[in-house]
Structure 1
Amino acid sequence: MMNDKPSSNYKSRFRRVNALHTVAAFIVVILLLGIPVFLATGTRSRASGERKELLEAWNSGDYDTAYAISQTALSAKPLDYFSLTVHGFSAYQLGISQVNNFDTLRYIDDCIWSLRKALLLKDSKTDGRVFYVLGKAYSNKGDDYADLAVKYLEEARSLSFTAADIPEYLGLAYAATGDYRSSVEAFSQALGPSNAEPSDLLLLSIARSYAELDEFETARAYLLRCLELSRDSKTIVTARLFLAQVYEELGNGQEAENQYLLVLDVAGNNADARYRLGELYSKRGDIARARAEWRQALRSDPAHQEARARLN
C-alpha cells in the first residue's frame, strides 16, 4: 500500500459539480429516450389533464415544471408510482445541473426520497431505471454512501438495465468502499469496446485503484495513458504527482524527481511537489537541498503541515 499518497480522488469525483456535468448530457439522453417510453406505456388512455401536462414537461426536458407538477400530484396521491418516479427523475436532473453544492444535495435528497418510496410499490420490482438513478444519486452524495451506490447500481444490472456509465460509477463506488479488486473489474468494463476513448479522469481513477492493490506497474501504465490523453492542466498535475509517487514505490527515484520537476515547470508554486522533492533529496543525504524545498513548500502553502514538521 502506498505511503503518503495523494488524497483520495473518489469523494471529489462524486461531489464536484463539474465532474457531474461531464455525464449529465449522457444521462439526459438515457432518461429522455428510455424512461419516458416506460412512463407512457399503459398510461396513454388516461394521460389527460395533469398527467398529460407532466409527460409533456418531461419529454420536452422541462424538469422544473415536471418537478413542480409531480410534487403537486404527490400531495394528492403520495403513493402514486408514476408521480414518484417522475418526481425522483426530475429531482436528479435538477440536482446535477446546480452550481451550488447545497442546492445539488437538496435535489439529490429529494430524488432519493421519491425513488425509495417508489421501491415500496410492486411496480418498481422490475424497473431497473429506478435502481440506476437511485444508485447514481447515492454516488453523488459522497463516499459515505458508496455502499448504497453499489447496492442499487448492481441491482439495476441484475435487472438487465444497461447504461454506458454504470461500470465507471461502480468502479468509483467500489473504490470508495475499499473494495479495489471489484473497482478495477468494474473499470475494466468501462474500458470495453463501447468506450474507444476513455476520459483522463477515468484512467486516473483506474490507476488509483491499481496502486491501492500495490500493482504499481499497472498503475504506471494507466497514468502514462492519462497524461498522453489529457488536455486539462489540473488533471495533468494530479497525474504527474501521483506518477512520481508510483515511481518512488517502484524504486525509481530519478523518474520520480523528473515528474516533480515537470509539475513545477507548469505549477511552480505546487507545495506538494516541493515537499516530495525535499523528501527525495533527504533520502539521498542532501539535507541542505531538502530543507530548501521544504521552505519553498511553506512559502507556497503556509498550512502545509508535513513541510513545517520537517523544518522544526
Structure 2
Amino acid sequence: MFVEGDQNRVIEKKKGKLIPILLISFLSLVVLSVIIILLSRFISYKVKNSPSITKLENQWKEGDYLGVFETSSILIEKNFLKNTILTYRGYAAYRLACSEIDPTLSQKYIDEAIRSLRIALMDAKPNTLGQIYYQLGRAYFYKNTVSSYYYYSDLVVKYLELARSHGYYADDIPELLGISYGYLGKSYDSIKSFSEALNVRESDSLLLMIAEQYYKEGQYPAAKQYLFQVTSRANDDNLLLKSQTLLAKIYIEEDDFDSAGELYKAILEKDENSPDAHFGMGLIYEKNNDMVKARAEWRKTLKIDGSYEPALKKMYR
C-alpha cells in the first residue's frame, strides 16, 4: 500500500521522463519541418531551372528572349519536333535578330527563326496557325531589311495573307503588305494595303509610299494629291525632301519646268548634296538648250554619287 509520499515520487518520476520525450518530439518535428521546407524549395528550384516548357513560358513572360533561345536549344535535343518548343524558339530568335547590332549575328538569328517556325508549322494546332504565319511573314520582312535585296517579298506576302485568311490580324500587317507588294511591282495591291494601313494610323510616311506607287503607275494627279499633303505638313526634313524630290520629278514629266525648278532650288537650299536635285536642274537647263549648265549639274550629280545611272547616261551617251 502506497503512502502519499511514495505516490508523489512516482508522479515526479513520470514527469521527469515525459518532459525529455516531449522535447525530443518537438525538436524532431522542427527538424522534419525544416527538411520538408528545404526539400520543397530544392524541388521547386530544380523544376524552375531545369529545361522545360514551363521554364520557356516563364522566360518568355519575363522578356528573357536569350534565355528562351538557350533553353529551347537544350529541349530540342530531346524532342526535335516538339511544336511548342520550336514556336517559342522561333519567336525568341526573331526578337534577338531585331535587337542585335551585329549584322552577322542578326542574320543568324533570323535564319534560325524562319527555320524553327517553318518546322513548327508541320504540327501546329489550327488555332495557332494564324499567329505562326504572321510571325513568319514578319521574319521574312526583316530578312529583306537586313539583306537589302528584297528577294523574300513574295514570302512576306504569302505568310501575311495566310495569317489573315486564318483569322489573325495585327496593326502592322497592311503596311508590311503594302511595302512588299511594292517591291514585287504590284502597285495597285500596294496602294490598297497602304490605304488600309491609313485606317489604322495616318502618317506622312504612308502618304509618301502611296504617292510613290501611283508615280510608278504613271498616275501623276493621284500621286500629287498625296505629295501635297506631305509637303504641307511634314516635320521630318528627310521625308519632306523625298516628297519634294518626287513632286519635282512629276513636274518634269508634265513639262512644268518652272514648278520643278522652284522645288529643286528649295531642295538644294536645304541639301546642296542632293544628286536628284542637281540632276533635275540639269534636265531643266537641257530643256532650255543650255547644255553647258546642264552638263555642269550632271557633273555635280556624279561627284556626289558616281553610280547615278541617269547622269552617267547623259554624260557618256
Query: Residue 255 of structure 1 aligns to which amino acid in structure 2?
Result: S
Q: Give 1:286 shift.
A: 1.9
Maintained 8 Å contact 1:127/1:159: yes
TM-score scaled by structure 2? 0.77
Higher RCO (CA 8 Å, separation ≥ 6 residues): 1
Query: Residue 278 of structure 1 aligns to which amino acid in structure 2?
Result: G
**CA 94–279 in structure 1, closer or farther in 2 if over 3 Å, else same:** same
Match of 2:122, SS state, is coil
Q: Give 1:309 shift.
A: 4.6
**CA 248–190 in structure 1, closer or farther in 2 if over 3 Å, else same:** same
Q: Please give the per-residue CA displacement for 1:164-210, whole angstroms capped at 9, x wherever unaligned.
A: 01000011111111111111111111011x32x32x32222111111
Q: Give 1:232 shift.
A: 2.9
**CA 306–208 in structure 1, closer or farther in 2 if over 3 Å, else same:** closer
Equivalent in the alignment of 2:219:
215
Structure 1, unaligned runs of 5 or more: 1-46
Q: 2:67 aligns with which of 60, 65, 68?
A: 65
Equivalent in the alignment of 2:76:
74
Q: Please give the per-residue CA displacement for 1:112-149, whole angstroms capped at 9, x wherever unaligned.
A: 10010011114257521100010111112222111111
> Which deviates more, 177-186 or 215-224?
215-224
CA distance in 2, matches of 1:305, 1:87: 44
Maintained 8 Å contact 2:137/2:155: yes
Where does 1:111-130 land on structure 2 (aligned, <5 Å)? Answer: 111-123=113-125, 126-130=128-132
Where does 1:58-207 land on structure 2 (aligned, <5 Å)? Answer: 58-123=60-125, 126-142=128-144, 143-192=150-199, 194-195=200-201, 197-198=202-203, 200-207=204-211
Equivalent in the alignment of 2:39:
none
TM-score scaled by structure 1? 0.78
Match of 2:152, SS state, is helix
Maintained 8 Å contact 1:94/1:107: yes
Instruction: Return the index of the structure with the highest Cα Rg.
Output: 2
Maintained 8 Å contact 1:244/1:256: yes
Query: Residue 186 of structure 1 aligns to which amino acid in structure 2?
Result: S
Aligned Cα root-mean-square deviation (Å): 2.0
CA distance in 1, matches of 2:100, 2:232: 31
